[in-house]
């Protein structure tokens, strides 16, 4: 892929360093899958009936970051980025969204998530998950978000190949 400047996760490291490294690697993978594409190409949808697009994935993952870091550890009532309700599907509708708009929202949420994680004394930090109505640990949140990225980066692989034939990484 063009411009693969991702930093590999550590081969040896603490649990926290490993989780952080893999999560940042997956975040960088999403950005790389979108690199060099126009707004129109980023909005290109997969085959019907799916309306999934790369830009929709960026929007969705902004919601994921907000829901799992900001809402769990800082402000349980923080509004979602793309919907008035907690509707993760609404983010997939990239409609007339632009790269600038979607990436600004996603990057802001990623930075907030990093700040939340970095200031926590421990992965055992408990936060309240409003949708589940229970407490969860920072460790669980990082693993959950990491799995979200892994799953959606698989979608991004297919979407990018459909846009311009680019495969790999």
Place of tokens 């989780």: 19
- 83: number of Cβ within 10 Å: 14
pLDDT in tens, the chain (169 residues): 456 888 989 999 999 999 999 999 999 999 999 999 999 999 999 888 888 999 999 999 999 999 999 999 999 999 988 887 777 777 777 887 899 999 999 999 999 999 999 999 999 999 999 888 899 999 999 999 999 999 999 999 999 999 999 887 6
Whether 85 maps to a domain, the answer reads: yes
For residue 8, tell me if it sits in a domain: no
In the prediction, which pLDDT does 110 show? 98
- C-alpha 72: how far from its chain's center? 16
Q: Tell me the two tokens of residue 113.
A: 């998530």
Distances (CA, A) of 110 to 45, 83, 102: 24, 18, 12
The residue range of the domain holding 36 is 15-164
Q: What CATH number corresponds to the domain at position 19?
A: 1.20.120.450
Q: Are 91 and 83 in contact (CB under 8 A)?
A: yes
Position 106 scores a pLDDT of 97
Q: Are 162 and 46 in contact (CB under 8 A)?
A: yes
**Are 92 and 155 a contacting pair, CB within 8 Å?**
no
- Is residue 137 helix, strand or coil? strand
Give a yes or no: residue 66 inside a domain: yes
In a domain, residue 169? The reply is no
Rg (CA), the chain: 16
According to the model, what pLDDT value does residue 90 have?
Answer: 72
Spatial separation of the C-alpha atoms in residues 167 and 169, rounded to whole Å: 7
Cα separations (Å) of 65 from 20, 61, 141, 162, 167?
14, 6, 10, 26, 26
Instruction: Quote the number of domains for the chain.
Output: 1
Residue 155 lies in a domain: yes
Q: Is the pTM of this model over 0.85?
A: yes
Cα separation, 63 vs 81, whole angstroms: 6
Pair of tokens at residue 124: 């055992």
The answer to whether residue 2 is domain-embedded is no
Give a yes or no: residue 87 inside a domain.
yes
In a domain, 22, yes or no: yes
């Amino acid at each position: 892929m063009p411009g693969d400047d991702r930093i590999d996760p550590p081969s040896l490291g603490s649990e926290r360093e490993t989780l952080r490294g893999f999560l940042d690697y997956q975040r960088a993978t999403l950005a790389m899958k979108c690199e060099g594409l126009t707004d129109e190409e980023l909005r290109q949808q997969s085959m019907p009936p799916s309306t999934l697009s790369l830009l929709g994935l960026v929007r969705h993952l902004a919601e994921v970051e907000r829901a799992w870091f900001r809402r769990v550890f800082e402000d349980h009532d923080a509004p979602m980025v793309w919907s008035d309700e907690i509707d993760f599907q609404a983010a997939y509708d990239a409609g007339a969204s632009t790269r600038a708009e979607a990436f600004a929202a996603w990057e802001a949420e990623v930075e907030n998530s990093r700040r939340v994680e970095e200031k926590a004394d421990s992965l055992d930090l408990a936060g309240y998950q409003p949708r589940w109505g229970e407490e969860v640990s920072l460790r669980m949140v990082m693993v959950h978000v990491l799995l979200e990225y892994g799953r959606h980066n698989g979608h991004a692989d297919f979407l990018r190949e459909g846009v311009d034939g680019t495969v790999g990484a």
